[in-house]
Amino acid sequence: MTPKYEIGQKVIIAPVKNQHLSPRDSDIEQYAGQGGKVIDYYWIRPNAGEVFCIYTVRMETDRIEIALHEDELAPCIE
């Protein structure tokens, strides 16, 4: 699987609409529209035939790192 975003690429946090949060998920709405930089990524395979890419993004504003699904990111157009 080829990742959609590369390490060092700037991205914008774009939460999925109608996202149903389970107790183990965190709400990323507070980061919506903010920019960050991809610092790492990895794949998970929850079931046979399914592969998801997860990205670690360092936020520009407070420098914290958060893990996000690929569909929660958008490329930053400068």
Q: Cα 27 to the chain's mean position, in Å?
A: 12
Looking at 2.60.40, 1.10.3470, 1.20.272, 2.30.30, the CATH number of the domain 10-17+28-75 comes to: 2.30.30
Tell me the whole-structure pTM to 2 decimals.
0.81
C-alpha dist (Å) from residue 64 to 24, 44, 49, 50, 57: 19, 22, 33, 29, 8
Reported residue count of the chain is: 78
Can you list the residues of the chain whose pLDDT is less than 50? 24
What is residue 23's predicted lDDT score, i.e. its pLDDT? 52
Where do the structural domains in the chain lie, given as residue ranges? 10-17+28-75
